[in-house]
Amino acid sequence: MSVPQPPEPIPGARLLFSLDPAVSHLNHGSFGAVPIGVQRAQQRLRDEMEANPLRFFTQGLVDRIAHTRRHLAGFLGAEPDGSALVGNTTTGVAVVLQSLGLQAGDEVLSTDHGYGAVSLAIQRECRRTGAVSRVLPIPLAASDEQIVQTIRAGLRPGRTRLLVVDQLTSATAKLFPAAAIVGVAREHGVPVLVDAAHAPGMLGTTVSSIGAEFWVGNLHKWAYAPRGTALLAVAPQWRDRIDPLVVSWEQDSGFPARIEWQATLDYTSWLAAPAGLFTLRSLGVDRVRAHNAALAAYGQRVVGDALGVPPGHLPDPGGPGVALRLIPLPAGTATSVDAARALQARIGERLAAEVAVMSWNGRGWLRLGGQVYNTADEYERLAVRLPALLAQR
C-alpha cells in the first residue's frame, strides 16, 4: 500500500501565524493557534476596554456579545437564541451537569473515549448528588453500527438521566456517529450532551443536524478564534432550566444572557472570534478542511512506517474531514497519563516538535494534527528522529 501524497501547501498560510519557526507545531488540537490578524483584532478590543472600562462594560456590551453569538451560531448551524457563549467545552459540560437536578439513583452514561476533564466533571457531580457515573467500553476499531448498538444496549430508561458522547474524541481521534446516537437515545427518552470540542471549523456537520439536547464545541481550536471561546447549544425544552456556574446581574434575563454575563470576564476573546471565521473563510473553509485532513493522514502514515506499524494497524478515524490521526506507540510506552506527559515533553524538548501523547486503555498513542501552517517535511523529520528517542527509554 503506497504512502498517501501530502497536499499542496496553501500559499501564504504559514505567514498568518506567529508560531516559532524553529518548532514543528503538530498538535493544533490541544490549544489551537490564533492568527496574527485575530490577535490584533482582540488587542484593539482590549485597548478599547482599557481606555474606558466603565463605558466598555456598561454601554452596549451585552448587545455586542449577543451579536457575536448570532454570528458564530450561524456558522455552526445552531439556533442563535438557543445558544450561549462559554469559555470552553468543559465549562459548558459543567453548566449542563449542574443544571440537571441529579439525584440518588440517577446515572450519567458516557464512553471510555471521553475527555479526561469531562469524566472528572461527571464524577464530581455524581459525588455531589448521589448519582452514579457509568462508562461504556467501545473498541477503537468499532464501526458506527457497533457504537450505536453498544450505546443502545447500555441505556437504562428511567435511570439514565444523561448520555455524554463525543462528536470527535480527543483521546482516540475517532469520529462518533453523533446524530445516530442521539436518535437512539431519544427513542428511550434519554437526553444527550455532545462534546464537540474539536468540531467547529474542522467538521462540516451542523449543530441542528445532530439534534442533541445539549451540544458544546470550542471555536478556539479549528475555527481560529482566541482561546476561551466556545458555544453551548441547548434544546428549547431545557433552556429555562440551564443555570450559570456563577450568578450575575443577568440572572433574571434567562438563557442565554444569564450564562454569558460573568461581570468582569475578559469578553474580548468572544468579540474577536468573528475575525477567526473571516480568516477561515478567506482561506476557503472546504479547502482548509481537505488540506488539514490529508496532511494529518500523511503524517500518520510516515510516522507509523518509521515506528514499524503496518498500515492496517493505523486507526482510521472514520471521516474524510478529520484532521487528527492516531499512531500506536511501542508496547510499554506511555502506559499512564504521567508517562504520556513526560514523553510529550521529551519530544518537544529534544526533537523541537510539539505533539500529543495519549495513554488510553493501558496503551500509549501519538496523536498528530494537520493545520495550514504545517508542511510535509515536519512529519518526515519527526519520523526520522522519533524511533531513536523512543529507544532511549
The per-residue DSSP string of 323-338 comes to -EEEEEPPTTSS-SHH
259 lies in a domain?
yes
Domain boundary among 279, 299, 329: 279
Phi and psi (nearest 5°) for 90?
-65, -30
Domain boundary among 279, 310, 336: 279
Instruction: Say whether both 182 and 70 belong to one domain.
Output: yes
Beta bridge partners of 366: 327, 357
* pLDDT recorded at residue 21: 97
CB 111 within 8 A of CB 165: yes
What's the chain's length in residues? 393
* pLDDT recorded at residue 2: 65
Instruction: Say whether both 178 and 291 belong to one domain.
Output: no
pLDDT per residue rounded down to tens, the chain (393 residues): 566 789 999 999 999 999 999 999 999 999 999 999 999 999 999 999 999 999 999 999 999 999 999 999 999 999 999 999 999 999 999 999 999 999 999 999 999 999 999 999 999 999 999 999 999 999 999 999 999 999 999 999 999 999 999 999 999 999 999 999 999 999 999 999 999 999 999 999 999 999 999 999 999 999 999 999 999 999 999 999 999 999 999 999 999 999 999 888 999 999 999 999 999 999 999 999 999 999 999 999 999 999 999 999 999 877 778 999 999 999 999 999 999 999 999 999 999 999 999 999 999 999 999 999 999 999 999 999 999 999 986
Rounded Cα distance between 28 and 369, Å, is 6
* pLDDT recorded at residue 1: 55
Look up the CATH number of the domain holding residue 385.
3.90.1150.10
Pairing of strands 356-360, 24-25: unpaired
CB 321 within 8 A of CB 204: yes
CB 33 within 8 A of CB 17: yes
Question: What is the number of structural domains in the chain?
Answer: 2
* pLDDT recorded at residue 317: 79
- Cβ of 29: how many Cβ atoms within 10 Å? 24
31 lies in a domain?
no
What are the grid coordinates assigned to 4, written together?
A: 498517501
49 lies in a domain?
yes
Instruction: Say whether both 48 and 111 belong to one domain.
Output: yes
* pLDDT recorded at residue 188: 96
Instruction: Say whether both 179 and 99 belong to one domain.
Output: yes
Instruction: Say whether both 275 and 374 belong to one domain.
Output: no
What is the model's pTM?
0.96
- Own/partner contacts of 284-292, CB < 8 Å, gap of 24 or more, are 285/204, 286/204, 287/10, 288/10, 288/372, 289/202, 289/203, 289/204, 289/321, 289/323, 290/7, 290/321, 291/7, 291/10, 291/370, 291/372, 292/202, 292/222, 292/323, 292/369, 292/370, 292/371, 292/372
Rounded Cα distance between 153 and 309, Å, is 34
Q: At what angle do helices 268-283 and 36-51 cross, to 10 degrees?
A: 150
* Nearest CA among 269, 230, 238 for reference residue 84: 230
Helix locations, 16-159, DSSP H? 28-31, 36-51, 53-58, 61-76, 89-99, 116-129, 144-154
Domain boundary among 279, 309, 325: 279
* Nearest CA among 187, 237, 194, 162 for reference residue 76: 194
Q: What is the residue range of 203's domain?
A: 37-279
Instruction: Say whether both 178 and 55 belong to one domain.
Output: yes
Instruction: Say whether both 290 and 169 belong to one domain.
Output: no
C-alpha pair distances (Å), 372 with each of 25, 156, 294? 11, 44, 11
